[in-house]
Amino acid sequence: MAKFKKKPCEWLPARYVLTAMFFLGMMNAYILRSNISVAIVAMIRTAEADGNGTDGSTSICGEFSFGSTPANKTMQNQGEFDWDETQKGRILSAFFYGYVFMQVPGGYLETKFGGKKVYGISMLIGAILTLLTPVAARVDFWFLFFVRFFMGFFQGVIFPAHHGMWGKWAPPLERSRLLSITCTGTNVGTVIALALSGYIIDQIGWPWVFYITGIVALVWFVAWMLLVHDSPAEHPRISEEEREYIESSIGTNVQEDIPVPWLEFAKSRVVWCLLIGHFCNNWGNYTMLTNLPNYMATILGFNIAENGLLSALSPLTIWVFTVTGGWIIDVIRSRDILDTLNSRRLLTAMGQFLPAIFLIISGFVGCDRAAAVAMLALSAGFGGLSTPGFKICHIEIAPRFGGILFGITNVFGSIPGFIAPEIIGAMTNNNQTREAWMNIFWIGASIYVFGGIVVLLFLRTDIQPWAHAPDKSSADPDVIFLEDIPNTRSQRHSDETKEN
């Protein structure tokens, strides 16, 4: 029996190295995206308070701190810019204005130039723009806006590049696990960005939030370019055994090109329900991501360090609920308690209606800080159940076009990223009151409920007629389904038993 030559990746499979690098890449991407949410609270100059909070300087609920540092002290000492709430909202939304443009083109760039270059260069540019952020802010408001805009523009390719590379690297039986691990980097990155930004600002000033995170991203970029390759065939250190395992399980034959049914996409009710659901769920997510630190400071009165730490609870609960929800739906389906469609409807209902309820409750609890923080965290956490609820149904209704469909719905899902901060900024400009934020919560809750109703009415999980290959008998499917992949280890054992 021929033995494969040992290579450096023999004991550390190359696909696991890629998993680690993608996890760290997603983590860094979301740190660069989210760090300004806390930093901008400290960047803006606050006037002496008149006690009513309407000038945006002192919180409605009064100053509060777990430690000895009074709330808002850090902001008064370090604020440099006389921006109003409308301008603050515009800066927070700038990233998402750019982000929407590259969702669909990102997939094409990955196929044209390779995911290693597309993903890596995107992160390199993001790191450089992050390092430029303090300078841009001090030069001109619009300079900072366009720095954030182009950061979003270039980061728009990371998910298409990520999915495209895994199409060449992830064996079908490992695909869900490997992609789940890498995508959790987004939640970890958001938690780190919010939690550490407040501490860094409190200790050494807001510019260092951008300097530190930018430098860390540059270090990751160097490691990425040295360790990662576009496919197993191009990897110089992969073992022959691993390369053959990946290529034989995925398949390397050139498949027949199937035309994308764009018109059928536009006419499909289930595609529209996914699009609307994605928009409505992300409205709540992005409201929490970009504006929660502002609410923590201006209404609840937490100082900058505690603001960041407590704001990080929301993305942390999203991560916990998303992972837990995925496990729950697998148990429900494996035990035949509910079929796939109804199990996804269950999580969708929980992921759209419960966040609306907790969001409204958070406004009614007033200045009970513990209750308000808990309700906001629960609202964000339950919203995470929509991911295993309906946000992965693209691959179920159209396995061949799942990536394209996700890109389309994610374009609309990114729109709240720039609309929500603009609206919130306009509603709270010279009006930082509980009443204004209560109206914001009512709007968010209504959007949650509307999206939930639409998805529950029109969601499907069966493959749509327009998603099938034109002629199944003459072409292999582009997507390899798990049930079609033999368990090679079990098959090998069976063959050996027969021989004996």
Amino acid at 130: T
The residues, ordered by sequence, that sit 6+ positions from 234 with a Cβ below 8 Å of its Cβ are: none
Which of 49, 43, 38, 37 is closest to 79 using CA atoms? 43
Which of 38, 19, 20, 28 is closest to 293 using CA atoms? 38
Q: What is the pLDDT of residue 255?
A: 47
Average pLDDT across each block of 10 residues of the chain; the chain has 500 residues. List them in order.
45 88 95 91 69 50 54 52 89 91 81 89 97 96 96 91 81 71 85 89 93 97 94 88 84 58 91 94 82 84 81 86 80 83 92 95 89 92 88 78 78 88 87 90 95 95 80 43 38 42
Which of 188, 76, 78 is closest to 134 using CA atoms? 78
CA 95 to chain centre: 13
CB 161 within 8 A of CB 109: yes
Q: What is the pLDDT of residue 451?
A: 96
- What the block records as the tokens of 282 is 């992300």
Which of 187, 189, 194 is closest to 296 using CA atoms? 194
Residue 302's beta-bridge partner residues?
Answer: 64
CB 205 within 8 A of CB 74: no
Please tell me the distance from the alpha carbon of residue 109 to that of residue 104, in angstroms, as a whole number: 9
Which of 94, 249, 47 is closest to 168 using CA atoms? 249
CB 9 within 8 A of CB 238: yes
3-state DSSP: the chain helix, strand, coil percent, rounded to 5? 75, 0, 25
CB 13 within 8 A of CB 242: yes
SS3 state of residue 341:
helix
Size of the chain in residues: 500
- What the block records as the tokens of 289 is 């991501």
Half-sphere exposure of 171 (CA within 13 A, CB side): 18
- What the block records as the tokens of 302 is 């937490």
> Distances in Å between the alpha carbon of 173 and those of 15, 54, 224, 358, 489?
13, 57, 25, 38, 12
Query: What is the pTM assigned to this prediction?
Result: 0.75
Sign of CA dihedral 435, 440, 441, 442: positive
Please tell me the distance from the alpha carbon of residue 103 to that of residue 407, in angstroms, as a whole number: 5
Q: 311: exposed, middle or buried (C-beta count within 10 Å: 0-12, 13-18, 19+)?
A: buried
- What the block records as the tokens of 381 is 């956490």
CB 207 within 8 A of CB 131: no
Amino acid at 65: S
Which of 396, 364, 376 is closest to 462 using CA atoms? 396
- What the block records as the tokens of 392 is 């992965």
Q: What is the pLDDT of residue 477?
A: 41
Please tell me the distance from the alpha carbon of residue 277 to that of residue 348, in angstroms, as a whole number: 9
Half-sphere exposure of 158 (CA within 13 A, CB side): 29
- What the block records as the tokens of 374 is 């808990």
